[in-house]
Amino acid sequence: KLKREKRKRAQEFDNMGEEGGGKPSNKTKKKRNKKLKKSHRDMTVEGEKGKGPSSSSSSNSSALPPHRRILAPMVGGSELAFRMLCRRYGVDLCYTPMMYSSKFAADAKYREEMFHTHPEDRPLVAHFCGNDPEVMLKACRMVEDKVDAVDLNLGCPQRIAYSGHFGSYLLGKEDHGLVMRIVSTLSRNLKIPVFCKIRLLDDLDDTIAFCKQLESSGCSLLA
């Protein structure tokens, strides 16, 4: 975006000397270059203002609010390289892509492929899906010392979530007890906060009641 803006400004300054139909004079070029340099400096300063403090500069790295800029979990998007790029431009808190708790707990190769981090990649939230409290706990314990919170996916609407019975397919009332067991199991046994990513239910009152249940079970943040 910054590069596009610079090119746009340069073209505008070029047009200043071409309004009469001829090429810009040397005097016009000098004037243009002087204004262009000032414009670039101004844009750079604005870009620096948008940057948040480095998350690694604080010894109290926390995934709990307040955070002004959050990078949400995106499958195929929020891997380490992209997280570090976004942090460079002011993101305060990042999520990993969704990871399958059952595979993560049982398969070292899957863990190696899916979970990468860096000392400056903090605060960081590990985003898991699954429907077994003990398996979820096992997976979360494997990253407990490398992240600042864990997040339970209760929002994925994809067909694979339907076939695996996770994500938004745990939002039915028949599964609310299971969801609360997952959240309470994690909350009681982990040293870090537990978050939940949800979808709105069909009824607003049901949504509010569900959120209050999650909070009572130990959820520290809902998104």
Its sign, for the CA torsion 74, 78, 139, 196, is negative
Q: Are residues 33 and 77 in the same domain?
A: no
Residue 156 designated active-site: yes
- Predicted confidence (pLDDT) at residue 61 exceeds the cutoff of 80: no
Per-residue pLDDT of 18-57, as tens digits, reads 444 455 566 555 655 555 455 445 444 444 444 444 433 3
Per-residue pLDDT of 158-171, as tens digits, reads 999 999 999 999 99
Q: Are residues 176 and 129 in the same domain?
A: yes
**Domain limits at 26?**
2-49
∠ CA 155-161-167, nearest 5°, is 25
Report pTM: 0.72
Alpha helices by DSSP H, the chain: 2-16, 26-49, 80-88, 101-106, 108-114, 133-143, 159-164, 176-189, 204-217
Q: Are residues 23 and 127 in the same domain?
A: no
Tally the domains of the chain: 2
Element (H, E) at 151: strand 149-154
Q: Are residues 9 and 23 in the same domain?
A: yes
d(CA 223, CA 215): 12
Q: Are residues 81 and 149 in the same domain?
A: yes
Q: Are residues 144 and 203 in the same domain?
A: yes
d(CA 169, CA 158): 9
Q: Are residues 17 and 125 in the same domain?
A: no
CATH of the domain at 114: 3.20.20.70
Q: Cis link prior to 66 (omega < 30° from 0)?
A: yes
Per-residue pLDDT of 82-117, as tens digits, reads 999 999 999 999 999 999 999 999 999 999 999 999
Instruction: pLDDT band for 67, please (50, 70, 90 cuts).
Output: confident
One of 94, 140, 156, 219 is an active-site residue; which one? 156
Per-residue pLDDT of 132-152, as tens digits, reads 999 999 999 999 999 999 999
Neighbours of 147 (CB within 10 A): 24
d(CA 222, CA 65): 11
